[in-house]
Copies of this chain bind each other. A is one copy, B any other.
């Protein structure tokens, strides 16, 4: 049975030393008014979060996978044993309200802190964590664009966790391409709408953990245009609320089935049939796609945190196994009295472990930087700082989603490899991490879509402005430290890569404006995102290494934490960062070699040829 200890030491290092978060938060009146910017308080909340997660969620992870969810004939869904009780403890302890607006019963804690809670929950039990996770997206959209009436009625229930939320986007024929959705909305004449259609792949779509479920549904209002411009967002509760905010009559939305999946079995992935269900418009008519992105951006970071959390827990268990399992001799011997040495002595095992450690710690640094930037974007008094933070959030969100889930999956696979044959057996739990991690690369916009979002929308469509700002920060850092005895070599690599990122962007942009068109963006995007991810991680590793060496030079490394940081940074630049060399070549290769003859290569006849 896998174990998990929240990496509190690392989290606090990032919060206090890398990000200097308490000072940053202290500049934001929202947090000072809420008394939620205090370093000591933040630290205590994190300790409490770790206790809750380790004690309540870890033990349910395997149960959730094995039992899965059960749908009954009436459409009700029972979650795995213990899931509901843990959820009650979660809401009673106030975790569902952690970063929510105090106006609606929230605690007004920074995103920085809820981000860490979500990482921990994902390490402990990702299927369980998705139930409150989906509420988070629904809360964000409703809070941003909902009417006061809807907010007053629904937000306190979502914040308290009494009711959970969902995002109802996908339909059988419309996944990535939401412009094709067919679910329709008709005015009822009383200000409400009748929603009819079928939604699939709805995570946490039906369950017994909360007394009501608030579905946020994309649908096309009668008479609205085709495509994405005719989509509106509706709120459709499972039970209609009473005037007093209680649970009233059952609404016309039923779970038609739940999927049998590769993993995340503890979470009910529902087919939801809406049959004239009563709904309320959220935000403006035909602005549903814009409003959806509020949820989606929250969900994308949340999905990235799944990759981070699963990579971390898989790494932790591989590390424990590698210390315990003895197999083969090493010279010099570590266990002279035994028949073999612990496998952690073998360099290739160390390579796998350090890969997990280096990606997890850089991912955590990026996620916390992003979360603090969300706090800055929303609450900093200085408009320039807000704008700068918003730009960074825009760039980092697709990277957080795609790079962290790809790395998380790969860490899970490598950590499973450390177990040899035992990694393939269910009882050790490693194969569950692999299965659970796989979905993060697929949903909330596939990682290919994230790459297009980054390169196409976030970079090329604004003429590279956001990129230049970030690249400028990196290059300034690189120049400042190029002669540094410890990190000089890292920042040289980093500076070159940042420069290369700029020139690669130019090349792609020029090709895209020429004959190549959008295909050149599509052809390069996935490798480009990975390259960009390494540049961000390289920057963060160089900064972490700098802090670590300063501490060591000052004789302040009692427990070896800073030595570990410095050595992991060294590993990162020697063994992981060089992937950029291959990526630069494949990015440059462009679309030419993908534009193969369809008939010959794929046995496919285009209806209209280019």
Contact with B along A335-364 (1 / 0, CB 8 A): 110011010111111110110010000000
Within 8 Å by CB of A606, from B334, B357, B421, B443, lies B334
Contacts A417-B448, A517-B331, A602-B323 given: A526-B351 contact, CB under 8 Å?
yes
Main secondary structure of the interface of A (DSSP, over half): helix
Decide if A607 touches B335 in the complex (CB within 8 Å): yes
B586 adjacent to A571 (CB under 8 Å): no
Of all A-B residue pairs in the complex, the 6 with the closest CB atoms, nearest first, are A560-B600, A578-B585, A262-B431, A347-B523, A574-B589, A582-B582
Q: Which residues from chain B contact A564 at a C-beta distance below 8 Å?
A: 596-597, 600-601
- Asked whether A354 and B594 contact (CB < 8 A) given A260-B427, A427-B260, A578-B585, the answer is yes
Number of chain A residues whose Cβ lies closer than 8 Å to a Cβ of chain B: 111
Given contacts A434-B262, A442-B417, contact A602 B344 (CB under 8 A): yes
Question: Known interface pairs A176-B327, A348-B525, A417-B446. Does A260 touch B574 (Cβ–Cβ under 8 Å)?
Answer: no
Q: Is A251 an interface residue (CB 8 A)?
A: no
| Contact present for B348 and A526 (CB under 8 Å) | yes
Question: A420: which of B175, B263, B582, B597 is its contact (CB, 8 Å)?
Answer: B175
**A448 vs B322: C-alpha distance when bound (angstroms):** 15
Q: How far is the CA of A193 from the CA of B424 in the complex (A)?
A: 33
A149 CB-CB contact with B under 8 Å: no
In the assembled complex, the Cα of A529 lies from the Cα of B447 at a distance in Å of 28
Residue of B with least CB distance to A576? B586
- Compute how far the CA of A596 lies from the CA of B575 in the bound complex, rounded to whole angstroms: 13
Indicate which residue in B339, B421, B427, B602 contacts A442 across the interface (CB closer than 8 Å).
B421
Per the bound structure, the CA–CA distance linking A309 and B111 in Å amounts to 47
Within 8 A of B (CB), among A472-493: none
Q: Which of A354-409 contact B (CB under 8 A)?
A: 354, 357, 409
Nearest chain B CB to A115's CB is how many angstroms away? 25
Instruction: Give residues 175-198 of A contacting B (CB, 8 Å).
Output: 175-177, 179-180
Chain B residues in 8 Å Cβ range of A452: 348
Task: With A177-B327, A441-B417 as known contacts, state yes or no: A592 contacts B574, CB within 8 Å.
Answer: yes
- Pick the residue among B173, B259, B413 that contacts A425 (CB under 8 A): B259
Instruction: Give A340 to B171 CA distance when docked, in angstroms.
Output: 15
Cβ–Cβ contact B176 & A334, under 8 A? no
Other-chain residue from B417, B522, B586 in contact with A348 (beta carbon distance below 8 A): B522
Q: Are B602 and A177 in contact (CB under 8 A)?
A: no
Contact B425 A434 (CB under 8 A): no
Does A438 lie within 8 Å of B442, measured CB to CB?
no
The residue of chain B having its C-beta at the shortest distance from the C-beta of A578 within the complex is B585
Most B-side CB within 10 Å, residue of A176, A335, A600: A600
Contact B604 A586 (CB under 8 A): no
Q: Counting CB contacts under 8 A, is A568 at the interface?
A: yes
Question: Are A443 and B427 also in contact (CB < 8 A) when A328-B176, A564-B597, A567-B597 are?
Answer: no
Residues of B within 8 A of A31 (CB): none
Residues on B with C-beta less than 8 A from A233 are: none
Max chain B Cβ within 10 angstroms of own Cβ: one of A326, A330, A582: A582
Smallest CB separation, A561 vs chain B (Å): 7
- Taking a contact as CB atoms closer than 8 A, the residue among B571, B579, B599 that contacts A594 in the complex is B571
Contacting pair B581 A323 (CB below 8 A): no
Q: Write out the residue numbers on chain B whose beta carbons fall within 8 Å of the beta carbon of A336.
A: 607-608
> Which of A335, A351, A595 gathers most chain B CB within 10 Å?
A351
A207 within 8 A of B: no
In Å, the complex CA distance between A334 and B606 comes to 6
Complex CA–CA separation, A586 to B358 (angstroms):
15
Contacts of A607 in B (CB 8 A): 334-336
Is there an interface contact between A567 and B601, defined as CB atoms closer than 8 Å? Answer: yes
With A327-B176, A340-B177 as known contacts, state yes or no: A319 contacts B420, CB within 8 Å: no
Are A346 and B443 in touch, CB under 8 angstroms?
no
- Whether A574 contacts B593 in the complex (CB less than 8 A), given A259-B425, A434-B438, A526-B348, comes out as yes
Separation in Å of the A565 CB from the closest CB of chain B?
9
- Check if A162 is an interface residue, CB within 8 A of chain B: no
Contact B170 A604 (CB under 8 A): no
Q: Which A residues between 232 and 267 are near B, CB-CB below 8 angstroms?
A: 259-263
Residues of B within 8 A of A603 (CB): 319
- Residues of chain B lying within 8 A (CB to CB) of residue A176: 327-328, 420
* A554 proximal to B (CB < 8 A): no
Taken together as a complex, chains A and B put the C-alpha atoms of A583 and B109 apart, in Å, by: 45
Contact B596 A350 (CB under 8 A): yes
Question: Is A85 an interface residue when CB atoms closer than 8 A count as contact?
Answer: no
